[in-house]
Amino acid sequence: MRFAVIMAGGTGKRLWPLSRENRPKQVLKLVGGDSLLQKCFKRVNTLFDLRNIIVLTNKGYSDIVRDNISEIPYDNVVAEPEVRDTAGAIGLAAAVLSRYDPDATMAVVTADQIIKPVDVFNKALNDAMTFVEKNPQALVTFGIQPSFPNTQLGYIKLGKCRKCDSCENEIYEVDAFKEKPDEHTAKEYLSTGQYCWNSGIFVWKAKRILELIYENLPQAKPPLQKIQAAWGGPNQEDILAESFIKLPKISIDFAVMEKASNVHAIRLKCQWLDMGSFSALADIIESDKNGNIIVAGQSEAWECKNSILVTEDSNHLIAAIGLKNMVVVHSPDATLVCPIEETGKLKELLNKIRENGGEKFL
């Protein structure tokens, strides 16, 4: 069977003060009324049976995730006891799925991305699953055509094109994964036409990715096997809590993808946005005549230029005069004001707030 695994464990510190420790970025409603998680769920729900959609999240978010997408079965929201990065989360999902279906095809998507048009994405996802079902040893990822020399994303170097008779999309061999480049290198990548942004979306057989995790992270094998054996039984949660923390904290890219053979990619021909910061809103929301990005039910931006004004409260007025290249984000109990170019320091700011006794605002 085919399964979708939604990764929904990120905290979204760069979207503070809207995202908090008890309100992750996946449930923010910044674009079009639905939360990022709801948008992701609606995308995959057209391809997968409700019973075959699994959501992985942190234990502190499980209730809010269930409230956000109440349609899926209660037990399909799996709470990770500790943060162990994507290799641990994917290993957990693969162990559980392969216990119930040794031939499970597993699509891994993330809850904090905006992708449209949905039908183009779903066709690519369906093609990837078809390809993997014909080639069970293959791993498939998705590359995003770069629109500018982004230095905040990893890149995929595409190699030889491989045709799949049952697929509309071309399947490329992956020659290499590249870490976040400097601006000069990113420009070189774009000039070749061979490189795509790494989307963090994957398709593979659950059994195959589990084999590769065991091969490359042998220390992960005993805890994952113990979790797998206990899953569905009376000790499931106790064993999960005891064993999951023993998994190494590493991404699936570092642990497996950069080392594996038989890795392929589909070039996604659609709009894609990783909603990691407020400046990303510029890619999906049309600016006003002065270059301002405004997400607010009511606002007055007088003589402001190239600024970002955000609130989820439709009854709250954001009013500003003379702002240039600034970010203003309102929440009920905290407001962020900073130059756009300084938003990269948000994590440091949150650490300072904590040091000064402001935990309730985090």
The pLDDT value given to residue 151: 84
The pLDDT value given to residue 297: 86
The pLDDT value given to residue 330: 94
What HEC string does the chain produce?
CEEEEEECCCCCHHHCCCCECCECHHHCCCCCCCCHHHHHHHHHHCCCCHHHEEEEEEHHHHHHHHHHCCCCCHHHEEEECCCCHHHHHHHHHHHHHHHHCCCCEEEEEECCEEEECHHHHHHHHHHHHHHHHHCCCCEEEEEECCCCCCCCCCEEEEEEEECCCCCCCCEEEEEEEECCCCHHHHHHHHHHCCEEEEEEEEEEEHHHHHHHHHHHCHHHHHHHHHHHHHCCCCCHHHHHHHHHCCCCCCCHHHHHHCCCCCEEEEEECCEEEECCCHHHHHHCCCCCCCCCEEECCEEEEECCECCEEEECCCCCEEEEECCECEEEEECCCCEEEEEHHHHHHHHHHHHHHHHCCCHHHC
Is 348 found in the same domain as 211? no
CA-to-CA distance for 322 and 317, rounded, in angstroms? 17
Is 353 found in the same domain as 269? no
Range of the domain at 90: 2-274
The pLDDT value given to residue 126: 95
The pLDDT of residue 209 is above 90: yes
Identity (one letter) of the amino acid at 329? V
Is 318 found in the same domain as 247? no
Please state the rounded mean pLDDT for residues 3-30. Answer: 85
Is 300 found in the same domain as 262? no
Is 299 found in the same domain as 243? no
Is 345 found in the same domain as 233? no
Please state the rounded mean pLDDT for residues 5-24. Answer: 85
Is 185 found in the same domain as 168? yes
Domain count, the chain: 2
pLDDT tens digits, one per residue of 283-296: 778 899 999 999 88
The pLDDT value given to residue 89: 95
The pLDDT of residue 206 is above 90: yes
Is 171 found in the same domain as 35? yes
Is 210 found in the same domain as 350? no
Length of the chain as a residue count: 362
The pLDDT value given to residue 191: 87
pLDDT band at 122 (very low <50, low <70, confident <90, very high): very high
Write down which residue in 274, 290, 323 finishes a domain: 274
Is 264 found in the same domain as 151? yes
Write down which residue in 242, 274, 306 finishes a domain: 274
Q: Tokens representing 354?
A: 């904590």
The pLDDT of residue 12 is above 80: no
pLDDT tens digits, one per residue of 134-183: 999 999 999 998 888 888 889 999 999 877 788 889 999 999 999 888 98
Query: The whole model's pTM is what?
Result: 0.88
Q: How far is CA 66 from the centre of its chain?
A: 18
The pLDDT of residue 30 is above 80: no
CA-to-CA distance for 68 and 34, rounded, in angstroms? 9
CA-to-CA distance for 146 and 28, rounded, in angstroms? 26
Q: Tokens representing 148?
A: 């500018």
pLDDT tens digits, one per residue of 224-261: 999 999 999 999 999 999 999 999 999 999 999 999 99
Query: By percentage, how much of the chain surpasses pLDDT 90?
Result: 68
Write down which residue in 274, 308, 333 finishes a domain: 274
The pLDDT of residue 62 is above 80: yes
The pLDDT value given to residue 304: 96
The pLDDT of residue 4 is above 90: yes
Domain of 94, CATH number, reads 3.90.550.10
pLDDT tens digits, one per residue of 266-285: 999 888 888 777 887 877 78
Is 292 found in the same domain as 171? no
The pLDDT value given to residue 93: 96
Is 248 found in the same domain as 103? yes
